[in-house]
Amino acid sequence: MRRSDQKYWELSAHIVLIIMSFLAIMPFVLLLIASFTDDKVALLQGYSYLPKKLSLAAYGYIWNEAQTILRAYGITITITVIGTLVGMMITTMLAFMLSREGLPGRKVLNFLLIFTMLFNGGLVPQYILYSSTFHIKDTLFALIVPNLLMNAFNVILVKNYFQYSLPTELFEAARIDGASEFTVFKIIALPLSKPILATVGMMTAISYWNDWQNGMYYLNNTKLFSIQSILNAINNSVQFLATNSIEGVRMDEIPSTTVRMAICVVGVIPIIIAYPFFQKYFVKGITMGAVKG
Amino acid sequence: MEHQVMPKKKKKKWKHWLPLYLMGIPGMAYLLINNYIPLYGLQIAFKKFNFNKGIWGSKWVGFDNFEYLFTSVQAFRITRNTLLYNLAFILLGMVLGVTVAILINEIVGEKIKKFYQTVILLPYLMSMVIIAYLVYAYLSPTNGLFNSILNTFGIEDINWYGEKKYWPFILVFVNQWKNIGFGMIFYLSSILGISKDYYEAAQIDGATKWQQIRKITIPLLAPTIITLLIISMGQIFRSDFGLFYQIPMRQGSLMPVTDTIDTFVYRSLMQKPNMAMSSAAGFYQSVVGFILIVTVNAIVRKKSKENAMF
Amino acid sequence: MKNMKKFLALLLALILVVSMTACGKSADKSGETGAQATKAPSTDGQTESLINFDEEPYEVAIENVTLGQEYADTAAVEAAINAITVPAINCKVKIVNYHIADHATKVSLAVAGGDKLDLINTGLTTALSTLVSDGVVISLDELLAERGKELLAKAVNLVKATTVDGEVYAVPASLYPSKANGIGYNQQMADEYGITIPENVTLEQLTAIGAKLKAANPDLYLNTQGDGSLTSLNVYYDLEAFGGDLNYGVIFDPLNSTSIVNAYESEQYKEYCKVFKNWKDLGYIPADSLTNGQNGQDVFNAGQTLYQWISVSPTSEQVVAGKGLSFTETLVPITPNELSTAAVQEFAWGITSSCDRPDKAMDFLNFLYTNAEVANLLQYGIEGTHYVKVSDNIITYPEGVNPMSIGYGRIFTQFGDTLQQFQLAPATESYYDDLKAFAAEAKPTKTLGYVFNTDNVATEIAAVASVVSEYRPVLETGMSDNVDATLAEFNAALKDAGIEKIISENQAQLDAWLAEQ
């Protein structure tokens, strides 16, 4: 009886998820095909699953920039790895502190954290601080530090996990054994929190991967451009020239809209490849939980 | 005796808490630098901002910069749209996110599970500009895929970009389609954190799947759900600019149902950029968000103290 | 002796400034004589006397606006320029690259953050009046009089158009900025279907042409209005819009009139909207241009439309010829060849308020307009590497080099005296005479030199802009079912938003300005 209940649930889950996957994949397939569509055909007939004529021109344009793009991938990977590691460290430590009930001043600190999600001083004061006081312009720090390193949302998620999803008895037992808070954090909290750490880690990594704003504000040296900064620059050229008429610019120098599709593909594919590796931690997290709990 | 114990105990406590505070220092320092010091920029909203004079030196103008937000004929419509869409996004996002997370959790095969997760996250990775092109490929009045499907069933073309009645659904759909993978991941990680013991015990008692979900999964997800709910209250006056600006292709005739505070501010200041006026809009959104978040948190605290955020 | 010369030059500069602000209508003539007068005594030694050669050479940071190119040879170009400028004016140059799409943001951040940035292009992405009221650029009056004499002499007729509230804030990037609005059409397509397009063609004539084209080949379009974000009213009607995209009111026939009217309520606008509604119904323009994301240039270049809008001048003819189209694009002016405030302000150079040494920035700017060698270096890079000569003054890209892969170049920004600088092929040596003649026959508008200060009506301008972006694209792409009804609704919404207050403020400022002239 129970088995058939389980089967029935799994079957319906499959049906729903297959429909959802279909909805998610079909536009992506269209994106892929659009990036291979001949420009003129796209202009005249729009994008379709069965374009009249295929072309590699969009990728040809990107290939022209191959050297730049490879260097940019290198920079993106560097900042994503460093930023995610450092970010996760300070995020989990802060979350652990805020998750400890009874900590004097905890409520005030919690409020201070949430406040940052509501109010911000805007770009100009932040830029002045980072560029004039910390001199991060045209350094890798510019791509790592502003806004992305830690955010209140992630801290709250990890904090909640520590607070509600981990068995409090484990903490108490360890503390009675005389373990310091830091030991409790390292030996108990972190290893048991892999699902949320993988989640938050991946979200941080994606935000590093997709960021172009820090590059736009703080970089003039194109050699430090990350992949999204480059893609964004190309994208902006197309966009700008589509909405502004500036004389003296030769339009044939500019790749057209199919390039944007190709750009999106180039930006997304590495994430799709990397994502399953992150998911491994989900699985590990479950087994861990099962053993200890 | 007691006299001597008390301070000693306090001292011990202080020593006990110290490592925790130390652990919090890097994070709090980052918030101080990244978020708190730049807060002095909030005054731009109340000034006639002049680059030469700087933020502190610019002239105060009271609430002048806020005026355009309230005097315009569209003030009501943008407020209504922003609020209603956000409510729909929040509620649907919660229901769908939890449902999909539970369903994925039911899947046994690891490979297929990974596949579903990856695929459902795909839309989250695309920018709104690209999504707008794709949506147009489906809805285009001349060679859109939807209209050709309708035609094969003998139904006449629909001018999707001319009829505003479809757009609340289109926008809600695109929003959920894009963000469901993201929301699902948070709920899933919470579900994975629930100890298997609970389910095993329930199964021994003969509980059905549905009963397990209702009695174990949902209650244990409640803290995550409530947290995300309170957080989203703070953002309720902000709208996803890309969604509302790019997807309807800036169509004037659709604006009664697609115009939100952020698109309105953009359209108002596009031709003549004014930093102070856009800061004013941001400040207004923050204040409303702040009031809401404090209110909702107070309500939550009354009902169940431990779920309140502060 | 030197002091005497300096005094004389200063005196002349003073006379120049006074005559410039005092004489309104005869500015043309007085400017020319003024220019000759300064030129005579002002030798190289004159400028140098103001320059302190004992200090370290100051590095002037000048922007280059790009489409994302890396310009790997920038340092080499800087070195080549420094080799000339250090001995001549004790200045070094530093070229700062900005992407055109980020330009407005990055300039304001650089100025706010006190970054090294001295000379910026005004008008390119942000209107001069906005930059002035935001305090991004500084007044150049004293600097021009003291250290920019040669430049002032050359631009004396033009700087009154870069004057805001009585002070000059920028110098024109081109000394010959007059232009006409008009269209460029596909000559092959016209020939094939026996179409001729006369100068000053009217909307009525174009409708007849559209009928002919459509009858011959139903797949082609006459024109497209794109997504409706850019108006083309100024293509078909001669008007002055004060840089306000029609929202600040307009003067129709600005060569003779100074009365500002609400463009959206004018007969011309109603007529214009109805023509496009008619064209859309007849299929002369695409019915889906509002949403399909195709801009007019793309569609025209792909050979789908007969014509596109373009401004007409010898320079744009040269640009069009260089586009590498598969057909010939012939330019036809519709509005007169005019010199207006907007034409001058479109591209100009200003000194930022964060500049440490405005005097040195002015020295460099002045030098750019007098020394063609430096101007050519800064514009085109180094001979042999970035360009090769075709004839004396005409250059072209070296083999295998294109504007995206080149080691140094400039796309959006120009400066200096065009008549003294190289031109890119396919321009020919006759370009210089054409430009001179075109500039000479340009007529100044009555409001040349007037700039609308929008500070008092900022709220109304924002409100009007949001109304316009809602209604105008629909009207101008012919997508409205009932032009009269939509137009009435549009105008009612504009009134609520306060367009009348903007226009009366504009007229009041203009009247005050006219009274001063």
CATH of residue C107's domain is 3.40.190.10
- Residue B11: the pLDDT is 57
Token pair 């600005």 is found at C254
Q: What is the 3-state secondary structure (H, E, C) of C415-472?
A: CCCHHHCCEECCCCCHHHHHHHHHHHHCEECCCCCCCCCCHHHHHHHHHHHHHHHHHH
CA dihedral C102, C105, C108, C113 (to 10 degrees): -90
Q: Do B39 and A121 touch (CB under 8 A)?
A: yes
Q: How many whole angstroms separate alpha carbon C200 and alpha carbon C335?
A: 7
CA distance A221 to chain B (A): 23
- Residue A229: the pLDDT is 86
CA distance C425 to chain B (A): 35
Paired tokens of B6: 């008390």
C99 and C6 within one domain: no
Out of A89, A121, A165, closest to residue B40 by CB: A121
- For the cut 80, the answer to whether the pLDDT of residue B301 exceeds it is yes
Q: What share of chain C is helix, strand, coil (3-state, %, to 5)?
A: 45, 15, 40
C24 and C129 within one domain: no
C72 and C21 within one domain: no
Task: Please tell me which chains touch C, using 3 or more CB pairs under 8 Å as the contact test.
Answer: A, B
Task: Please tell me which chains touch A, using 3 or more CB pairs under 8 Å as the contact test.
Answer: B, C
C156 and C108 within one domain: yes
The reply to whether C126 touches chain B by the CB within 8 Å rule is: yes
Q: How confident is the model at residue C31 (pLDDT cuts 50, 70, 90)?
A: very low
Mean pLDDT, chain C, integer: 87
Chain-centre distance of CA A179, in angstroms? Answer: 35
CA distance B194 to chain A (A): 6
- Residue A234: the pLDDT is 76
- Residue A255: the pLDDT is 52
Residue C316 lies in a domain: no
Q: How many whole angstroms separate alpha carbon B70 and alpha carbon B266?
A: 15
Q: Do B72 and C466 touch (CB under 8 A)?
A: yes
- For the cut 60, the answer to whether the pLDDT of residue C505 exceeds it is yes
Mean pLDDT of C33-39: 36
- Residue B117: the pLDDT is 87
- Residue B157: the pLDDT is 87
User: Of A205-219, A257-271, B174-188, C372-386, where does mean pLDDT reach its minimum?
Assistant: A257-271
CA distance A54 to chain B (A): 17
Q: What is the pLDDT of residues B70-127, one digit of tens each?
A: 987 789 999 999 999 999 999 999 999 999 999 998 888 888 888 898 899 889 888 8
- Mutation target vs B (from C453, C455, C469; most B CBs, 10 A cutoff): C469
- Residue C403: the pLDDT is 74
Classify residue A108 by burial, with Cβ atoms within 10 Å: 0-12, 13-18, 19+: exposed
Q: Do B27 and A276 touch (CB under 8 A)?
A: no
Closest CA to B117 of B58, B192, B63: B192
- Most confident of the following: A201-210, B2-11, C260-269: C260-269
The larger pLDDT score, comparing residue C324 to residue C164, is at C164
Beta strand C338-339 pairing with C91-99: unpaired
- For the cut 60, the answer to whether the pLDDT of residue A50 exceeds it is yes
Domain span holding position C124:
52-176+343-390+401-421
Residue C120 lies in a domain: yes
Mean pLDDT of C351-363: 95
The reply to whether C288 touches chain B by the CB within 8 Å rule is: yes
Phi, psi at B237, each rounded to 5°: -95, 0
The reply to whether C446 touches chain B by the CB within 8 Å rule is: no
- Residue B306: the pLDDT is 78
Q: What is the pLDDT of residues A53-66, one digit of tens each?
A: 888 888 887 887 78
The reply to whether B164 touches chain C by the CB within 8 Å rule is: no
Query: Which run of H or of E encompasses A195?
Result: helix A194-210
Q: Do C458 and B274 touch (CB under 8 A)?
A: yes
CA distance B200 to chain A (A): 11
Q: Are C342 and C241 in contact (CB under 8 A)?
A: yes
Q: Are C373 and C420 in contact (CB under 8 A)?
A: no
At what angle are helices B261-269 and B275-303 packed, to 10 degrees?
Answer: 170
CA dihedral over A15, A16, A17, A21, signed as positive or negative: positive
Contacts of B181 in chain A (CB under 8 A): 24
- Most confident of the following: A254-263, B22-31, B158-167, C120-129: B22-31
Mean pLDDT of C256-281: 96
Closest CA to B282 of B66, B64, B50, B59: B66
Considering only residues 244 to 283 of chain A, which have any Cβ-Cβ distance to chain C shorter than 8 Å? 245-254, 256-257
Q: Do A250 and C403 touch (CB under 8 A)?
A: yes
Q: How many whole angstroms separate alpha carbon A103 and alpha carbon B16?
A: 10
Paired tokens of B234: 């703070």
- Residue A267: the pLDDT is 83
The reply to whether B73 touches chain C by the CB within 8 Å rule is: yes
CA distance B219 to chain A (A): 11
Q: How many whole angstroms separate alpha carbon A117 and alpha carbon B228?
A: 13
Q: Do B289 and A118 touch (CB under 8 A)?
A: yes
User: Of A42-46, A86-90, A254-258, C66-70, where does mean pLDDT reach its minimum?
Assistant: A254-258
Say how many CB pairs under 8 Å bridge A and C.
109
- For the cut 70, the answer to whether the pLDDT of residue A246 exceeds it is no
The larger pLDDT score, comparing residue B30 to residue A252, is at B30
Out of C99, C227, C316, closest to residue A236 by CB: C99
DSSP string, C348-375: EEEEBTT-S-HHHHHHHHHHHHH-HHHH
Mean pLDDT of B273-289: 94
* For chain A, percent of residues with pLDDT exceeding 70: 87
Number of domains making up chain C: 2
The larger pLDDT score, comparing residue A287 to residue C27, is at A287
Considering only residues 208 to 227 of chain A, which have any Cβ-Cβ distance to chain C shorter than 8 Å? 216-217, 220, 222-223
N-to-C CA span, chain C: 38
Q: How confident is the model at residue C378 (pLDDT cuts 50, 70, 90)?
A: very high
- For the cut 60, the answer to whether the pLDDT of residue A286 exceeds it is no
C70 and C26 within one domain: no
The long-range contacts involving C79-88, CB below 8 angstroms and separated by at least 24 positions, are C80/C377, C80/C382, C81/C374, C81/C377, C81/C378, C82/C57, C84/C371, C84/C373, C84/C374, C84/C377, C85/C57, C85/C364, C85/C367, C85/C374, C86/C57, C88/C48, C88/C367, C88/C371
- For the cut 70, the answer to whether the pLDDT of residue A222 exceeds it is yes
Q: Do C402 and A216 touch (CB under 8 A)?
A: no
- For the cut 50, the answer to whether the pLDDT of residue B203 exceeds it is yes
Residue C335 lies in a domain: no
C102 and C24 within one domain: no
C68 and C128 within one domain: yes
Paired tokens of C329: 């694009």
Q: Are A97 and A162 in contact (CB under 8 A)?
A: no
C170 and C59 within one domain: yes
Residue C24 lies in a domain: yes
Q: Do C404 and A256 touch (CB under 8 A)?
A: no
Q: What is the pLDDT of residues C6-21, one digit of tens each?
A: 444 444 444 433 333 3
- Residue A289: the pLDDT is 41
Contacts of A245 in chain C (CB under 8 A): 230, 297, 309
Token pair 């949430």 is found at A114
Q: How many whole angstroms separate alpha carbon C458 and alpha carbon B275?
A: 12
The amino acid that residue B182 corresponds to is F
Phi, psi at C484, each rounded to 5°: -60, -45
Paired tokens of B198: 């609970």
Residue C125 lies in a domain: yes
Closest CA to C154 of C447, C432, C420: C420
C8 and C111 within one domain: no
CA distance A50 to chain C (A): 19
The amino acid that residue C449 corresponds to is G
- Residue B4: the pLDDT is 44
Mean pLDDT of A96-119: 92
- For the cut 50, the answer to whether the pLDDT of residue B279 exceeds it is yes
Q: Do A132 and C405 touch (CB under 8 A)?
A: no
Residue C329 lies in a domain: no
Closest CA to A165 of B204, B188, B185, B110: B188
C106 and C10 within one domain: no
Out of A43, A220, A249, closest to residue C298 by CB: A43
Per-residue DSSP letter, A146: T
Strands (DSSP E) contained in C10-129 are 58-66, 91-99, 119-122
- Mutation target vs C (from A130, A223, A249, A259; most C CBs, 10 A cutoff): A249
Paired tokens of C339: 């010199």
Three-state DSSP class for residue A16 = helix
- Residue C41: the pLDDT is 37
Give the chain B residue nearest A18 (alpha carbons): B116
- Mutation target vs C (from B72, B245, B269; most C CBs, 10 A cutoff): B72
State the fold for domain B72-307.
Answer: MetI-like fold (1.10.3720)
- Residue C5: the pLDDT is 45
Distances (CA, A) of A172 to A178, A180, B21, B305: 10, 11, 19, 21
CB atoms within 10 A of CB C418: 23
Q: What is the pLDDT of residues C168-212, one digit of tens each?
A: 999 999 999 999 999 999 999 999 999 999 999 999 999 999 999
Q: How many whole angstroms separate alpha carbon B193 and alpha carbon B197?
A: 11
Q: Do A248 and C402 touch (CB under 8 A)?
A: no
- Residue A277: the pLDDT is 75
Provide the residue ranges of all domains of chain B, joining segments of one domain with +.
1-62, 72-307
- Residue A256: the pLDDT is 67
CA dihedral over C135, C137, C139, C142, signed as positive or negative: positive
Q: How many whole angstroms separate alpha carbon A176 and alpha carbon A170?
A: 10
The reply to whether B127 touches chain C by the CB within 8 Å rule is: no
CB atoms within 10 A of CB B1: 5
- Residue C298: the pLDDT is 77
Chain-centre distance of CA C247, in angstroms? Answer: 19
Three-state DSSP class for residue C55 = coil
* For chain B, percent of residues with pLDDT exceeding 70: 96
Q: How many whole angstroms separate alpha carbon B289 and alpha carbon B282?
A: 10
The reply to whether A48 touches chain C by the CB within 8 Å rule is: no
Q: Do A245 and C230 touch (CB under 8 A)?
A: yes
Q: Do C101 and A253 touch (CB under 8 A)?
A: no
Residues sharing a CB contact under 8 Å with residue C339, sequence separation 6 or more, in sequence order:
C161, C177, C178, C442, C443, C444, C445, C448
Q: Are B239 and B261 in contact (CB under 8 A)?
A: yes
- Residue A242: the pLDDT is 61
Q: Do A253 and C102 touch (CB under 8 A)?
A: no
Three-state DSSP class for residue C332 = strand
Mean pLDDT of B142-149: 85
Q: Do C353 and B51 touch (CB under 8 A)?
A: yes
C85 and C9 within one domain: no
Q: Do B27 and A91 touch (CB under 8 A)?
A: yes
**ipTM, 2 dp:** 0.88
Give the chain C residue nearest A41 (alpha carbons): C302
- For the cut 50, the answer to whether the pLDDT of residue B52 exceeds it is yes
Mean pLDDT, chain B, integer: 89
CA dihedral over A202, A203, A208, A209, signed as positive or negative: positive
Considering only residues 101 to 120 of chain B, which have any Cβ-Cβ distance to chain C shorter than 8 Å? none
- Domain A64-292 CATH assignment equals 1.10.3720.10: yes
Q: How many whole angstroms separate alpha carbon C326 and alpha carbon C310?
A: 18
Q: Do A5 and B33 touch (CB under 8 A)?
A: no
Mean pLDDT of B237-241: 93
Q: How many whole angstroms separate alpha carbon A121 and alpha carbon B45?
A: 10
Closest CA to B278 of C130, A218, A122: A122
Q: Do A261 and B133 touch (CB under 8 A)?
A: yes
Per-residue DSSP letter, B241: H
Contacts of B259 in chain C (CB under 8 A): 470
Q: How many whole angstroms separate alpha carbon B238 and alpha carbon B257?
A: 16
Q: How many whole angstroms separate alpha carbon C124 and alpha carbon C254?
A: 23
Contacts of A193 in chain B (CB under 8 A): 193
The reply to whether C287 touches chain B by the CB within 8 Å rule is: yes
C103 and C16 within one domain: no
CB atoms within 10 A of CB B58: 20
Q: How many whole angstroms separate alpha carbon A151 and alpha carbon A114?
A: 10
Q: How confident is the model at residue C30 (pLDDT cuts 50, 70, 90)?
A: very low
CB atoms within 10 A of CB C162: 27
Q: Do B193 and A289 touch (CB under 8 A)?
A: yes
Give the chain A residue nearest C66 (alpha carbons): A237
N-to-C CA span, chain B: 37
N-to-C CA span, chain A: 27
Mean pLDDT, chain A, integer: 84
Give the chain C residue nearest A133 (alpha carbons): C113
